[in-house]
Amino acid sequence: MTKSDTATYLSSPLGTVELRGSEAGLSAVSFLNEPVAATAPAAVPDCLREAHRQVRAYFGRELHTFDLRYDVARGTDFQRQVWAALLGVGYGRTASYLDLARQLGNPGAVRAVGAANRQNPLGLVWPCHRIIGANGTLTGYAGGLWRKKWLLAFEQPVAQAELF
C-alpha cells in the first residue's frame, strides 16, 4: 500500500470485502478471512465510493459487469495479458485455464495462467473465479474454493435464464 492508498470494507455473503485504491483508481479487491467492521456508506473515501457501490450492486444482483478505473502497477506483461483476458469471461460463464492459454496463443502455458490468476490483485472484479479446470473441476482461488463455488452458483441463474 502506498501513502495515497486507502481502504474501505463492506460486508458480503462471503465475508468482508476489502477495497484498496487511490484517486488514480482501484488497486486491490480481497476477501478477508477475519471479520472487519464494514465502512458506513457515508464514510467511504471518495476515491473508492464507486467501487464500493458497484461491489454492493454485484452482490445485490443489480450489476454483472464492473466499470471502474484501475491503478495496478504490479504484474508481468504475461500476468497483465491473463488479467485482461479474464474480462472476456462474462457473468454466469466459465472458461478453463487451457482456454485462456489458447486465447493468449500459448496452449502450453496452462500452469502460468493459473499462477497469474493467483496473483490477480482485483479478484471478483477481474473475475478469476470464473476460470476452472479443463475437465470442469474447480481448482484454485485465492479467496478459497468455497468462495469460488459460491460465486459460480450465485451467477448461474442469470446464465440459465439467458438460454431461454
In the listed set 60, 85, 101, which residue is the last one of a domain according to the structure?
60
Write out pLDDT tens, residues 37-52: 999 989 999 999 999 9
Residue 1 has pLDDT above 80, yes or no: no
Active site (catalytic) residues = 128
Closest CA to 68 of 119, 136, 19: 19
pLDDT of residue 2: 47
Q: Output the pTM of the full model.
A: 0.88
pLDDT of residue 129: 95
C-alpha cell at 104: 493468449
Q: How many domains does the chain have?
A: 2
Segments forming the whole domain that contains residue 40: 6-60
90 and 149 both lie in a single domain:
yes
Count other C-beta atoms under 10 Å from residue 51's C-beta.
26
82 and 147 both lie in a single domain:
yes
pLDDT of residue 136: 86
Residue 112 has pLDDT above 70, yes or no: yes
Q: Which residues contact 29 (CB under 8 A, 6 or more apart)?
A: 17, 18, 19, 20, 51, 55, 121, 122, 123, 124, 125
CATH of residue 17 = 3.30.160
Asked whether residue 41 is assigned to any structural domain, the reply reads yes
Average pLDDT over residues 82-108: 95
